[in-house]
């Protein structure tokens, strides 16, 4: 399920007045993840990634393999490396995705094309400490919520309006666990106030994981898609940047 995309490393060097020594740099990885939706396939066409430091010029980068990413393969802790780059120290101002025109969604075996999002719709919220210090490696995950990003506009037409969030190691609150039996075909909801995250176990073990959660208390609700199983609810507390295990959740007839 994990798609590993090799990206050309971009080395950005800036010269001082002596035209010899370069500024200190750090490494930045940008990874794509997903919250699932009730679709067969959601392909998004990522052609470019633009990164800008405060006071600098926007760097528009072309991956080695620009093109489609099936969001539904990127859940339960799976991600895909979009970019690995070297950048000067300073403060990140913005990161944005540039989409091509080959976006589509498949629902019950029928494929529908979707529009290319606008520049504004590809701009990422940077909800973390944006200070880049020398000789460090930073990882930023982009979570694109498939369930909320695919918008139905007619009887047989859809558009892509990306619902995006970002997180790092320090802000990546997580919950994992197992839902049994597999025959229940469960969906798990993590609810905190007005926010709801969704996970669908991805293999025969019933394993699931929520990523990018803010610290707080969550109601974990497992609901079976197969008739005859009762829902199961428990409370899980998430700490900033940590993984909390929900253990095994059993759905019984």
For the stretch 93-147, pLDDT in tens is 999 999 999 999 999 999 999 999 999 999 999 999 999 999 999 999 999 999 8
What pLDDT does 163 receive? 94
Asked if residue 164 and residue 184 are part of one domain, the reply reads no
In the chain, the number of structural domains is 2
What pLDDT does 63 receive? 79
Task: Indicate the range of 5-9, 123-127, 247-251 predicted with least confidence.
Answer: 5-9
Instruction: List pLDDT tens digits, range 163-218.
Output: 999 999 999 999 999 999 999 999 999 999 888 898 988 778 999 999 999 999 99
pLDDT band at 23 (very low <50, low <70, confident <90, very high): low
Closest CA to 144 of 97, 189, 187, 111: 97
- All residues at 6 or more sequence positions from 228 whose CB lies less than 8 Å from its CB, including other chains: 253
Last residue of a domain, one of 146, 171, 196: 171
At 96 the three-state DSSP class reads: strand
- Mean pLDDT, range 78-93, rounded to an integer: 94
- Mean pLDDT, range 146-167, rounded to an integer: 94
User: Could you tell me if residue 37 is inside a domain?
Assistant: yes
- Cβ atoms of 181 and 158 closer than 8 Å: no
- Cβ atoms of 36 and 187 closer than 8 Å: no
Q: Is the pLDDT of residue 35 over 80?
A: no
Asked if residue 201 and residue 159 are part of one domain, the reply reads no
Domain containing 71 equals 25-171
Q: Quote the mean pLDDT of the chain.
A: 88
Asked if residue 89 and residue 184 are part of one domain, the reply reads no
Q: Is the pLDDT of residue 10 over 70?
A: no
Token readout for 248 is 């095994």
What pLDDT does 105 receive? 97
Asked if residue 188 and residue 97 are part of one domain, the reply reads no
- Mean pLDDT, range 141-167, rounded to an integer: 94
- Mean pLDDT, range 19-38, rounded to an integer: 76
Asked if residue 231 and residue 120 are part of one domain, the reply reads no
- Which stretch of DSSP H or E encloses residue 147? helix 146-149
User: Which pTM value belongs to this model?
Assistant: 0.81
Q: Is the pLDDT of residue 17 over 70?
A: no
Q: How far is CA 112 from CA 33, 106, 147, 201, in A?
A: 22, 6, 15, 25
Last residue of a domain, one of 138, 171, 204: 171
User: Could you tell me if residue 164 is inside a domain?
Assistant: yes
Asked if residue 188 and residue 155 are part of one domain, the reply reads no
């Amino acid at each position: 399920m994990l798609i590993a995309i090799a990206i050309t490393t971009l080395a950005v060097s800036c010269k001082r007045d002596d035209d010899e020594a370069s500024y200190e740099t750090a490494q930045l990885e940008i990874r794509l993840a997903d919250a699932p939706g009730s679709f067969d396939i959601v392909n998004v066409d990522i052609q470019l990634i633009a990164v800008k430091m405060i006071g600098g010029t926007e760097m528009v980068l072309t991956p080695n393999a620009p093109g489609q990413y099936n969001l539904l393969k990127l859940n339960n802790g799976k991600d895909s490396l979009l970019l690995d780059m070297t950048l000067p120290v300073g403060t990140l101002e913005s990161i944005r995705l540039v989409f091509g025109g080959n976006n589509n969604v498949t629902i019950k075996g029928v494929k529908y094309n979707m529009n290319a999002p606008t520049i504004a719709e590809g701009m990422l919220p940077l909800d973390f400490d944006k200070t880049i210090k020398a000789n460090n490696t930073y990882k930023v995950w982009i979570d694109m919520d498939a369930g909320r990003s695919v918008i139905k506009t007619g009887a047989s037409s859809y558009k892509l309006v990306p619902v995006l969030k970002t997180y790092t190691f320090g802000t990546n609150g997580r919950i994992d666990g197992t839902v049994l039996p597999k025959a229940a075909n469960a969906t798990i909801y993590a609810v905190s106030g007005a926010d709801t995250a969704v996970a669908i176990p991805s293999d025969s073990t019933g394993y699931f994981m929520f990523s990018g959660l803010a610290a707080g208390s969550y109601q974990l609700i497992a609901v079976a898609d197969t008739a005859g199983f009762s829902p199961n609810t428990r409370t899980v507390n998430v700490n900033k940047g940590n993984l909390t295990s929900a253990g095994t959740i059993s759905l019984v007839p």
